[in-house]
C-alpha cells in the first residue's frame, strides 16, 4: 500500500491544486439531473410509497460515482499513457504491478467519493429524509472501486484517445439511462429487466436506493457488484502485465 500511495500521491497533489473547482464542475451534471428529473418530470409522482425526488437521488449518486470514478482514473491514465508518456516511467519504477494498478485506480475512488458526498450534502438539503448509514457508504465505496478499475482497464486497452470516447458512448452512456437510476425496474418488460441486471450500475442503484430509503438491503446486488469489481481488477492486472512486457 505504501508503493500504491506513492503512485497516488502525484495525482492527489494535482487534485489538491484545483479541488474546489473540481467539485463545482462535477456537481453541475448531477444537480441538473436532479432538477430535470426530480423537480421537473417527477413532480408529484410517487413510486412504491416514496416521492420520486427521494427515489431518484440515490440513483443520481450511483451515476455520479460511476462517471467521476471512471473518468478520474481512466481519463487520467489514458492521458498519462498516450499523451505525456509518463506512464512508461511508472512501469520502470521498482514497485509491483499490483501496487501500480492500485495507485492508478485509487485516484478515481477519491474523486468518486468526493463528488458523490458533495452531491449528497446538496441533496440532503432538499430531501432531508434520505437515510445515510454504514451500509450506504460501503455500497458507495464499492461502486467507486468498481468503476475506477473499469476506467483503468479501459485506459490500458485503449490505443487512442478516441477509444476512450467510444468506450464511454457504448458502455457508460447506456448505463446512465438504463441502469435503474431514473426509473424502477418493475416498470419495464420482464425480458428487458433481466438484461438490465447485467449492468453493474443497476446493482449499485438498487443497493444505494434501498440503503438510502431504509428498505431491506439487496445483498445479492452487493455481491454482484463485488463480482464486477473483482473481474475488472483481474482484467486490469492482465492488461497491465501485457503492456509491461
Label residues 106-116 b or e (16+ Cβ within 10 Å = b): bbbbbbbbbbb
| Tens-digit pLDDT string for the chain (245 aa) | 788 998 899 889 888 888 888 889 999 999 999 988 887 776 778 777 788 889 999 999 999 999 999 999 999 899 989 988 888 888 888 899 999 999 999 999 999 999 999 999 999 888 878 899 999 999 999 999 999 999 999 999 999 989 999 999 999 999 999 999 998 888 888 888 889 999 999 999 999 999 999 999 999 999 999 999 999 999 999 999 998 86
Length of the chain in residues, anyone?
A: 245
Q: Could you report the per-residue pLDDT of 10-49, keeping only the tens digit for each?
A: 889 888 888 888 889 999 999 999 988 887 776 778 777 7
> Cβ(34)–Cβ(111) under 8 Å?
no
d(CA 131, CA 118): 16
Of 167, 165, 161, 112, the closest CA to residue 141 belongs to 112
> Cβ(72)–Cβ(111) under 8 Å?
yes
Q: 245: exposed, middle or buried (C-beta count within 10 Å: 0-12, 13-18, 19+)?
A: exposed
Neighbour tally for 213: CB within 10 Å: 17
Q: Could you report the per-residue pLDDT of 73-84, keeping only the tens digit for each?
A: 999 899 989 988
Residues 6+ apart with CB under 8 A from 49: none
Please state the domain extents for the chain. Answer: 2-244
The pairing of beta strand 50-51 with beta strand 46-47: antiparallel
Residue 36 gets which letter from DSSP?
A: I
User: 202 forms bridges with which residues in the sheet?
Assistant: none
d(CA 179, CA 56): 12
What pTM, to 2 d.p., does this model score?
A: 0.94
d(CA 108, CA 126): 27
pLDDT of residue 245: 62
Amino acid at each position: 500500500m505504501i508503493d500504491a500511495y506513492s503512485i497516488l500521491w502525484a495525482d492527489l497533489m494535482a487534485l489538491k491544486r484545483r479541488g474546489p473547482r473540481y467539485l463545482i464542475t462535477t456537481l453541475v451534471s448531477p444537480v441538473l439531473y436532479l432538477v430535470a428529473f426530480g423537480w421537473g418530470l417527477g413532480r408529484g409522482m410517487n413510486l412504491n410509497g416514496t416521492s420520486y425526488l427521494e427515489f431518484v437521488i440515490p440513483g443520481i449518486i450511483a451515476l455520479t460515482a460511476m462517471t467521476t470514478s471512471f473518468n478520474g482514473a481512466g481519463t487520467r491514465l489514458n492521458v498519462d499513457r498516450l499523451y505525456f508518456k509518463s506512464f512508461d516511467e511508472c512501469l520502470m519504477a521498482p514497485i509491483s504491478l499490483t501496487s501500480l494498478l492500485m495507485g492508478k485506480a485509487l485516484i478515481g475512488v477519491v474523486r468518486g467519493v468526493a463528488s458523490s458526498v458533495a452531491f449528497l450534502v446538496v441533496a440532503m438539503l432538499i430531501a432531508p429524509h434520505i437515510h445515510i448509514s454504514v451500509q450506504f457508504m460501503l455500497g458507495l465505496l464499492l461502486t467507486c472501486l468498481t468503476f475506477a478499475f473499469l476506467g483503468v482497464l479501459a485506459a490500458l486497452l485503449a490505443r487512442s484517445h478516441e477509444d476512450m470516447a467510444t468506450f464511454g458512448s457504448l458502455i457508460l452512456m447506456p448505463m446512465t439511462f438504463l441502469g435503474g437510476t431514473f426509473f424502477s425496474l418493475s416498470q419495464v418488460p420482464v425480458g428487458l429487466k433481466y438484461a438490465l441486471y447485467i449492468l453493474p450500475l443497476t446493482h449499485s442503484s438498487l443497493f444505494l436506493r434501498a440503503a438510502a430509503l431504509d428498505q431491506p438491503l439487496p445483498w445479492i446486488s452487493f455481491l454482484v457488484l463485488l463480482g464486477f469489481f473483482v473481474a475488472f481488477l483481474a482484467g486490469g492486472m492482465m492488461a497491465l502485465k501485457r503492456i509491461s512486457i
